[in-house]
Structure 1
């Protein structure tokens, strides 16, 4: 028999994070130190300090480097609760891309690289960015189109290329850079972001404004890195990206589940109090059915997340499971938030509640870390490959 109840330690964690978000973070949502490209540095530092005092900083990172060392199942609980406020992931240091970068550094980096980069990341002292996506004809959903180059230069490397949609680039302290090495292939490199040869050309205007540093266009023009700045082995960049991909893809699902639940709760509260045509609007089938559909979508999304988290905790890469979860969750949560806007009516398209902000911030979720179409294509290839094997047998 499958037991879907939370173990006592995870139930306690859920209560701790929920209380922290409700009493420490939600009251700060109106703080003016926020702009079109995310919370400003001073606000981020205030939020991080609150999580540090509460003992809830970097729940995904190992205790050795300043985190809580939670399993993927534990992260599913903590990250959902953090996501209930759009500032929660920033406060607990679990937002993208830092969360995924920390996971990658723990898995691949040398001890010296971990001390230099992972520790200050996990302790919340710096931010990071992951530089892979490029303008056409470069790498996007198809990473094999990588154009950025890393050529031998003395005892190190010279990196040249142009990246865009680089989340958190403005204000980041370090970067993980994907570049193509002659005769080796895609390779990851580490660099401080203030190094000569790196220019953040601009921050792109996007629907979302919840990511610190926004999404930048970054140019590498003669950036020099040393031999000790190679992350892992030469030519293994795409393989290491897979190590990062499933957990980072899934934690997006976890965080946005919390945000969608917040939008639903706001809509439910409105439906319980707003009257129209002689009764509460929640008593009209059009509204009541929307709320019922929301509850079902939230439930299905949570189950998909928990199953993928369990798979990762068994030691698997969970590539298929995370693709499946990414499509199920991103589309289900989008429906939840869209219905919540509809339930709120005119209120739903204003700043009178947080729902319009969640609506705008969440739209990119169906695109980043692989659009739904790419994941469906990947899943279809798995399905057909399995059918071909069965037919040959």
Structure 2
């Protein structure tokens, strides 16, 4: 965890912090609810330190991802050109290693990785990993049509590309299609006409194209952030007057807060609630709605999402040291909120560790209660985000979150 540090160039901030803390205590005495504290004086704003540290963390993680994506591209090309068991195992290992880093980045969707509706958003994330948008039939139609050979494939629907398509292509070995009778590949019999050998060869070729596209997106993400190119690092660090993307520090903090809500939208609601039949599922469970359908890594993904979350909340250094949102909370006299949030993340980690099965698909079938416990602890995190966290820091909830009381 990180520790609040008074900046030496402005010792008067000690007095400001003390007054702010007293104000919070007094308000708390009246109704027990956290209230936002005015920002500290100009020149002693720990929020600026957070923006710089978070930018360094995001760029550093993107740089970690790029060589993993490069290896994935190389291994899938090798599998395409000389398929054997060893090449397949190497490609699958490269997939896991790249996905490990990417899942850590999922709660860091600020700027170029974020949707275009967000400040500085360029949708790089959705082009690398489109979850929860997924369409297996669309992938199988590409196998038949060889659409992946088209020069325009990189601009095709995201459900045909990215990690979800790659996971199917590298890990699924079944012969059937999920496409319905109205799909051309079923109605015209073109899927059934493919021999097992031809289908496997096309999947390998398709995987190599997808991996190359992922690698190109990884490079684009690094380029967007790096000082020597797009320098979004500077854009985030210099939020304020004159900054066209982040005209105020608060706008930048809101963008970072929105990214943290990944654990609410995709984590709690998509990765857990839907498979648990808490929403959008008419059965006792819906394992077909898990994030990882074929590589069996849904549990690992959730763990890594929490790792990335903590790097922004507690600090990106070893053992989560360094500047994080917890320092901003402490500066606002609300260190107790940071402590509670940190403890809730640890409880979610413990609940994940308590799921004995490596694959959540097995856990849903054999011990649904253990997966339900993970959901409950994730809800504990998001309840804090939606209340004390954004209230104390005077942040706006992400668009679409209003009215979500689960």
| TM bucket, shorter chain | 0.3 to 0.5
The structure in which a higher percent of residues are helix is 2
Query: RCO greater where, 1 or 2, for CA within 8 Å and sep 6 or more?
Result: 2
Tell me the TM-score normalised to structure 1 length.
Answer: 0.35
Higher fraction of strand: 1
